[in-house]
Each structure stands twice: as C-alpha cells, then as structure tokens.
C-alpha cells in the first residue's frame, strides 16, 4: 500500500523529534539547533516549519520524548528482572558502562543536568514529570510498593543514581567513574535491605556491550 502524504509527514516529524532527542542528550540544549537537527535527520532546513512553529517547540517535544524513552526503558528492565530483583536490575542498568558511554540514548536528567534549571518553564515541567515518574518506578520496587515512605527512599536513590552517572561521565579516571557508581549501587541496595527486601543486594557489576 502506498504511503499517504499524511503518513509521510508523520514519519518525517518522528524522525526530527527522535534526532533532536538524541542531540540534546548528547550535546545539551545548544546542540539542538534547527540546522544541525535537520541535517542529522537527512532533511532540508527549509522543511522544518512544516512541522514546528519554532525551535522551542521542537526542543520541548524532543525532551518529552527523551524522558518517555528513559522511563520506558527502565520499566522494561524491571519487568524482565527475576522476581525480587527489579530494583537491582534497574540500578545495574542505569549505572552501567553503556549508559555512561551513550548519553544520547540515556536518561535526560543526567544528560542535561543543571542546564534544565535555566530553561523555559515548559521544559522544567517535563523534567519535573520525569523525576516523579522515575521516583514512582523505584518506590514500586520496594516492599509495600509506592507508599509515601518508600517515595522518600526512592527520591534519595534517584538523586544518587543521577548524580553518580553525571559525575562518572565528568571524571577522566575510569576507576573513579566505577567507584562512584558502585558506591551508589551499594547504598541503594542497602536501602532495600533496610526495608526488609530479601533479595536486595549490590547490583552485579556488568559491562553491557555496544
């Protein structure tokens, strides 16, 4: 069946959003210029305004996409984990070597860091939803589920995970990068154990291949 003009436009729109979502995570908000994104998407600059009213609109949709991808990926990790090991699996995936080496396809909170605090309110609202969503996902893995008490522990774990990933990317010492992540992994595992989780333990150290 031949593609309709509407479907072609929708596919092109998706390509732009996906390219911009990768660009902002790899290079920061400044890396998502209209010209660069369109070039990376294999499209002409002149076609941009058939899809977006402004660069800001593109960046907003791209950040929303990046945030959704991050939550979806970690939710999938939890669902595929062995019973009782979902929190361990989430932490191991988030703090993996692959995630350190590939910010363009990873968590937008760690990739963009404090840059988001200086962005427009719409972008900060997306980051706020991302924090709440990830905290809820982590809390759901603790005994008793997503309760107010567990949410506090999940927020603490999330702060440690995002901070460790950001610092692991910043330092030029691989051993220190690993030590930062291992320290947070132990702390999160300990928090699970303190809540009576029989399976909580330090995530197995793994290197995920490209």
Average pLDDT across each block of 10 residues of the chain; the chain has 210 residues. List them in order. 72 96 95 92 92 96 96 96 94 98 96 94 97 96 92 96 98 98 93 51 43
Predicted local distance difference test score (pLDDT) of residue 36: 94
Measured distance CA(25)–CA(19) in Å, rounded: 10
Predicted local distance difference test score (pLDDT) of residue 198: 43
CB 165 within 8 A of CB 95: yes
Angle of helix 174-194 relative to helix 86-94, nearest 10 degrees? 160
Angle of helix 55-80 relative to helix 86-94, nearest 10 degrees? 140
Predicted local distance difference test score (pLDDT) of residue 210: 33
Predicted local distance difference test score (pLDDT) of residue 189: 85
pTM: 0.85
Measured distance CA(15)–CA(9) in Å, rounded: 10
Predicted local distance difference test score (pLDDT) of residue 192: 59
Cα three-residue angle 71-75-77, rounded to 5 degrees: 120
Predicted local distance difference test score (pLDDT) of residue 206: 45
């Amino acid at each position: 069946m031949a593609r309709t003009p509407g479907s072609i436009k929708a596919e092109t729109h998706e390509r732009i959003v996906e390219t911009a979502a990768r660009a902002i995570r790899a290079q920061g908000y400044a890396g998502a210029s209209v010209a660069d994104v369109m070039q990376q998407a294999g499209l002409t600059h002149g076609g941009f305004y058939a899809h977006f009213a402004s660069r800001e609109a593109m960046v907003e949709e791209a950040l929303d996409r990046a945030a959704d991808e991050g939550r979806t990926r970690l939710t999938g990790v939890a669902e595929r984990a062995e019973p009782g090991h979902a929190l361990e699996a989430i932490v191991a995936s988030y703090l993996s070597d692959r995630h350190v080496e590939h910010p363009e396809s990873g968590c937008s909170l760690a990739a963009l860091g404090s840059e988001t605090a200086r962005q427009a309110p719409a972008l900060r609202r997306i980051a706020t939803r991302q924090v709440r969503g990830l905290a809820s996902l982590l809390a759901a893995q603790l005994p008793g589920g997503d309760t107010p008490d567990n949410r506090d522990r999940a927020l603490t774990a999330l702060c440690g995970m995002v901070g460790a990933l950001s610092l692991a990317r910043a330092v030029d010492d691989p051993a220190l990068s690993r030590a930062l992540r291992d320290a947070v992994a132990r702390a999160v595992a300990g928090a699970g154990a303190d809540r009576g989780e029989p399976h909580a333990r330090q995530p197995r150290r793994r290197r995920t291949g490209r």
